[in-house]
Amino acid sequence: MVTGAGSGIGAEIAEHFAESGASIVLTELPESLENAEIEAERLQRLYGVEVLCKPLDLRSVEDIERCVRSIEEQVESIDILINNAGVNLLSPALSLSEEQWDFVVDINLKGTFFLTREVAKTMVRHKRGSIIMIASHDGVVGSENHAPYSASKAGLIHLTRSLAAEWAKHGIRVNAVSPTFVITDANEQVMDDPQFRRTNLPRIPLRKFAVPEDIANSVLFLATDSASMITGHNLVVDGGWTVV
């Protein structure tokens, strides 16, 4: 199950799993579900795997529970959950509104927790599972004008550790991947801006931005038996941003 899978990093993660032969559930916001459906048709055609699409709004616990029940009616088990869906906004902390704070934190942290909890209930019954949170380098180091985003991603990283400790006895591994800036179709114009590149590339020792494949490769590794002894870990995929 991959959340926010209609485009960008989520779509790339889904493709990596489809190429590996996995059956997949893609989720997207109801108003963006068509993107996920187009992606599902493409993956089915290319790799011959089963792909389901479900609408999901992480701001609603009721919608989360409904979505998971709907999936359980169609598949035997959810073995892997990739919590990719998330939002960001830029605002100075001194002018940040309550609505802005709640918008980011409710999706990135609260909604992600309640979805993870519902899916974990099915994993407990089957005594196996791998859960991966897509966090951020902003959850490891601070960034200007990113207060709710940084707080939510740092919370997600520590939630990963807490759930890993709590659910290991059920055969469930919980890990996180923290990317640096990732070039996608949605942000390519911003990241190609000369000022953006001058400001941010020198802070990355490898002197390059990530691409969705970099994140998908890391997620696929953590999800499989190749990482069977890894849980509670935050894999930072940042070209060295957080070490300097």
pLDDT in tens, 46-73: 999 999 999 999 999 999 999 999 999 9
Catalytic residue among 17, 114, 149, 181: 149
Handedness of CA 64, 68, 69, 71 (dihedral sign): positive
Annotated catalytic residue 47: no
Which residues, given as ranges, of the chain have pLDDT below 50? none
Domain positions in the chain are 2-235
* Whole-number Å distance between alpha carbons of 68 and 1: 10
State the pLDDT at residue 115: 98
* Residue 188: count of CB within 10 angstroms of its CB: 10
At 186 the pLDDT is: 87
| pLDDT value, residue 244 | 86
- Would you call 76 helix, strand, or coil by DSSP? coil
Phi and psi (nearest 5°) for 196?
A: -60, -45
**Residue among 54, 229, 231 nearest 131 (CA):** 231
Domain 2-235: CATH superfamily, name plus number: NAD(P)-binding Rossmann-like Domain (3.40.50.720)
Q: Is the pTM of this model over 0.85?
A: yes
% residues pLDDT > 90 (the chain): 98
**In 99-198, beta strands by DSSP E:** 129-134, 172-179
Within a 10 A sphere around the Cβ of 129, how many other Cβ atoms?
Answer: 23
Q: How far apart are CA 100 and CA 122, in angstroms?
A: 33
Q: How many residues are present in the chain?
A: 244
Tokens standing for 191? 């990241």
Residue with tokens 């709640």: 102
What the block records as the tokens of 201 is 């590339």
**Phi and psi of 145, rounded to 5°?**
65, 20
Q: Where are the beta strands (DSSP E) in 43-125?
A: 51-55, 80-83
Helix axes 33-47, 8-19, angle to 10 degrees: 20
Cα separation, 98 vs 50, in Å, equals 41
Separation CA 139–CA 147 (nearest Å) = 10
